[in-house]
Chains A and B, each alone.
Chain A
Amino acid sequence: MDGNFILEMSIALGTFVFLIDVAVFVWVAFFKLEQIEDALGNSKLNIDAKRFGSDSGLLGRQYRLSTAISALLFTNMYVRKGLVDLNDVKRMPTHLKRWVLIPFLTAGVSFLFVLVLMFVAGKI
Chain B
Amino acid sequence: MSQPYAFVNDQARHYIHLRDQHLALSMNARSKLDQLNPFLRNGMVRPADVVVVGDGSTNMCTPEETRLMELASQVRGAMIGMSTRESSVMTHNFDLLQSFMSYGSIGIGASTAAWSRHLKDLEELLKQTEALHQRWRAGAMTNDQFFAQRRALFTRMETSLKGIGRFGSGLNNQGKMKQILGISSKSYLHTGDIRGYAGKVRSLSKMAGAMSKGTYVGIALDVGAGALEIKEACSTGREEECTRAKYVETGKTAGGIFASMYAGSAGAVAGQSICVGLGVASGGAAIVGCALVAGAVTAWGGGKFGSIAGENLTTLLHGTVHGR
* A interface with B by C-beta (< 8 Å): 8, 11-12, 15-16, 18-19, 21-23, 25-26, 44-45, 48, 52, 55-60, 62-63, 65-67, 69-70, 73-74, 77-78, 81, 83, 104, 107-108, 111, 114-115, 118, 123-124
Contact = CB atoms under 8 A, between A and B. Distances in A.
Given A19-B254, A57-B216, A70 B272 contact: yes
Contacts of B214: 59
A52 B302 CA distance: 24
B265 A25 contact: yes
Contacts of B308: 118, 123-124
Interface residues of B, number: 43
Nearest to B268: A66
Contacts, number: 126
B320 to A, nearest CB: 9
B226 interface: no
Contacts of A48: 283-284, 287-288
B264 A62 contact: yes
Contact of A111 (B208, B263, B287): B263
B262 A107 contact: yes
* 4 closest residue pairs by CB, A with B: A57-B212, A66-B268, A56-B208, A22-B258
Given A59-B215, A73-B273, A52 B288 contact: yes
A43 B273 CA distance: 16
B273 A57 contact: no
B277 A59 contact: no
B209 interface: yes
A1 B131 CA distance: 57
Interface of B: 104, 208-209, 211-216, 254-255, 258-259, 261-266, 268-269, 272-273, 276-277, 282-285, 287-288, 291-292, 295, 302, 305, 308-310, 312-313, 316-317
A67 B316 contact: no
Q: Say whether chain A's binding surface is mostly helix, strand, loop, or mixed.
A: helix
A15 B283 contact: no
26 contacts: A16-B313, A18-B258, A23-B258, A25-B262, A44-B283, A55-B208, A55-B209, A56-B208, A56-B212, A57-B212, A59-B212, A60-B208, A62-B295, A63-B288, A63-B292, A66-B269, A67-B272, A70-B269, A77-B276, A83-B283, A104-B265, A104-B266, A111-B266, A111-B302, A114-B309, A123-B312
Contacts of B262: 18, 21-22, 25, 107, 111
Contact of A11 (B282, B295, B312): B312
Contact of A15 (B215, B216, B291, B310): B310
A66 B263 contact: no
A57 B283 contact: no
A99 to B, nearest CB: 14
A47 B255 CA distance: 33
Given A16-B313, A108-B266, 4 more contacts: A52-B285, A74-B277, A77-B277, A118-B309
B313 A58 contact: no
Contact of A63 (B216, B273, B295): B295
Contact of B272 (A8, A66, A118): A66
A19 B255 contact: yes
Residue among B215, B254, B295 with most chain A CB within 10 A? B215
A12 B259 contact: no
